Amino acid sequence: MALRAALRNKSTLSGLLSQWSSCSSNGRVCVSPVLFAQRRNNSTSQKIKVDFDQSTGVAVMRFQSPPVNSLSLDFLTELCISVEKLEMDKSCRGVIITSTQPKVFSAGLDILEMYGKSPEHYREFWRAVQEMWLKLYGSNMVTIAAINGSSPAGGCLMSMTCDYRIMADNPRYTIGLNETLLGIVAPPWFKDTMSNTVGHRQTEMALELGLLYNPSEALKIGLVDQLVPEDQVLTTATQMMSKWLAIPDHARHLTKSMMRKPTIDKLTSNREADIQHFVNFISKDSIQKSLGMYMEMLKKRRG
């Protein structure tokens, strides 16, 4: 868990990680090979399995953190490191993200990281959430979400950072930013990402009501791009990846950066204030109480 510790410790590697973002050029991160080697040695990849096929240039990242691939600090740290490794490997041109857990792609941010912890912990956690979004939304690789289960909140956010979204056509699965249902609020960059995907009006209604869409509804409003039977999600993603990789990389990079840079710049220029805002908000008694009640409800459901 040295890598996680690194992200926690702002004065060392974590500080460097933030700097890497700012020294990226066209989204490709520049980093010293020495540091990278150190980090590779430290990687333990428990929560995410990465299979990179050199022959195709395509990696598949499988989320395998039971029971529901919650975005804990550990998970996010491992995700950021994994994406960064692939990003720096010039032979890797595309990434497919998917889940090994039944019925769920990712349940989103881990509530345990936001409940009853210290301000320092909230700060560290939120920085990791930001980092995950910055790495995925700003990736130069082609990113495809193979959404083979429910994908609420942070799971939906991860999906929306991708270039293309394929969802299992199972009416019991849902996707959406449902933060308001928990009494919390999707931050501006979640909102921007959704607005870039489905437009202002759908985003307004979805966020105010905390809407979770079934696959048909999600396809209708453009929240996902394609529905296929559950057992074809990954193969379809692989086929679609070939189509994307037929485009010259440099032209696609520049185009993707042109589309996304203004949204990314809004967060990078406001990152510390965004963290402070989150810490203040989540530390409120009323919000902690809301989250407590929500977790009680979840326990009863399971019990």
User: Residues in the site for a second copy, rule: CB under 8 A?
Assistant: 163-164, 179-186, 188, 191, 195-201, 203-205, 207-210, 222, 225, 243-244, 247-248, 250-252, 254-256, 258-260, 286, 290
179 is catalytic: yes
CA dist 262 and 11 (Å) reads: 28
Q: Does residue 67 have a cis peptide bond before it, meaning omega lies within 30 degrees of 0?
A: yes
From 94, 154, 176, 210, the catalytic residue: 154
Q: By C-alpha distance, which of 38, 48, 101, 44 is closest to 72?
A: 48
Q: Min. distance of Cβ 248 from a second copy in angstroms? A: 4
The tokens of 163 are what?
């270039």
From 108, 178, 212, 214, the catalytic residue: 178
Answer whether 86's CB lies under 8 Å from 225's CB: no
Q: Min. distance of Cβ 261 from a second copy in angstroms? A: 10
Q: Min. distance of Cβ 201 from a second copy in angstroms? A: 5
Closer to a second copy by CB, 24 or 195: give it.
Answer: 195
The tokens of 107 are what?
């349940």
From 179, 182, 223, 227, the catalytic residue: 179
Q: Min. distance of Cβ 44 from a second copy in angstroms? A: 34
Closer to a second copy by CB, 89 or 225: give it.
Answer: 225
Q: Min. distance of Cβ 3 from a second copy in angstroms? A: 31
Closer to a second copy by CB, 48 or 95: give it.
Answer: 95
From 109, 134, 136, 267, the catalytic residue: 109
154 is catalytic: yes
Closer to a second copy by CB, 11 or 301: give it.
Answer: 301
Q: Min. distance of Cβ 110 from a second copy in angstroms? A: 19
Closer to a second copy by CB, 117 or 191: give it.
Answer: 191
Identify how many contiguous H helices and E strands the chain contains and give both numbers. Answer: 13, 8
Closer to a second copy by CB, 135 or 256: give it.
Answer: 256
Q: What is the SS3 assignment for the chain?
A: CHHHHHHHCCCCHHHHHHHHHHCCECCECCCCHHHHHHHHHHCCCCCEEEEEECCCCEEEEEECCCCCCCECHHHHHHHHHHHHHHHHCCCCCEEEEEECCCCECCCCECHHHHCCCCHHHHHHHHHHHHHHHHHHHCCCCEEEEEECCEEECHHHHHHHHCCEEEEECCCCCCEECCHHHHCCCCCHHHHHHHHHHHCHHHHHHHHHHCCCECHHHHHHHCCCCEEECHHHHHHHHHHHHHHHHCCCHHHHHHHHHHHHHHHHHHHHCCHHHHHHHHHHHHHCHHHHHHHHHHHHHHHHHHC
Tell me the catalytic residues: 109, 154, 178-179
